[in-house]
A and B are shown apart, each in its own frame.
Chain A
């Protein structure tokens, strides 16, 4: 349940207390972009749209930053930079230090049967440790269950760069309603067969049997992101691209 008219806030702006959801029992939860200064001040730290959820008594800021800052639990697409004794160095973005991915952090990996990844390979991994004091650490397996849940090396296909905000919208559970992103579903409805992996660090991997499909999907994603298309415009774009392909 977000507010009707989007409220855009700037860093340091005071927030109208009437917007803050209150509940007798549930404590207020602050998401990314907001900071609590005791005793009762809530201050935004980034510029973006303030989103308030009354059901969960939480509030956060939706913002489209340029720099990806890893946080625990994020799914990202990284490229292997090199291999060290016990782990791989994985590059998440060109401007941050490499993250480490242990050799054995894959599903059912032992010293003898582990995936041998070369420099330049892509992996879909989850951030297991991220804080501002240390370089981030990744894992390709769910450490509690031991299953990979779709994580691991990505073969073939192509990676496209998208903005961080667009990647977040693609990863939303209800991307059609809340994220206003329908481009992937529309492409699937047109009959293209492809698979995607979205990394929170602004990368989308597209894989398919036909190279044309990969290129069409990549173009659709890029145009939607760059031009900020709405749902209807996305459908038109998809129709146009598929027609050109055929």
Chain B
């Protein structure tokens, strides 16, 4: 249904058809740098709670939509590469993949700056990439190499990028929510006009600490935006089985909320822009992003015991974020099929190169076990089983 609505709308903006082959290359637009504003309507309206929903007309540009496509394609490829690396046992432990939810990461980035903070849970690979993280750093961290963004000591669930205000990367469900409100508090304390986006899932939405933190954020007027990435399943439990009230954007009660189609990058961008303005003036707001993950909860979860394959493929056909943007690009004549396919090939190569590079990079030295325990002023000593073999001062 969303598909038909999109094509219906795009027909209104359809330019007179000219194929790329017909146009001589000298007068082709340079699409990747074209920033003339375009206005596009979102397919699904916003639902709001205690506030006025933003307009459905999103201001964007060809360059931006193209960057959405490229970034989402890169994220998708990265996650698929991670899938096969996990199956070949190069990535161990837990690996939570984000494919299907990419629109959230790119849409959010388009609305904010690198000084606004983002903190999320363990499904953090794409958010890291969105914040400017390098593919090779991500893959190195996943494979436990020294080159990794956390020196190989964090793993899949602990990606951080301090210079881009990306605060991770947290393994315990919901524990990042008070941290996120603390980041917002620090922003308010320093009187800089930045906000914090605290991401959590529909599973974490039932945690007490969410409501504790929301209470404090509302009480102290913190510039905190709590984003519920509702992918409808908390591991194997569907939302209707875990939440009495699955309207997560309303659960803030006294805090305004907005429900957004999380598979539409432009809608996400609009909502995040709206939320940032709101948070700076009026304090916290809850965003519920209606999204979906194609993989299971993690690589250990096939993802098919609690949902049908038809459901997954149905969402992929109708709501896939990358396909949406592709159709937008094609219908607005911003790029051709071939250009987009070439772009995807480039991205694929990028990812493959990064994987190869990460595979070659060295594992951490054994002495790294004891580094970054304390900031250098403690002098704690630690011993191994054989004191003569291993005796070290924690640094």
Judge: A and B partners, yes or no.
Answer: no
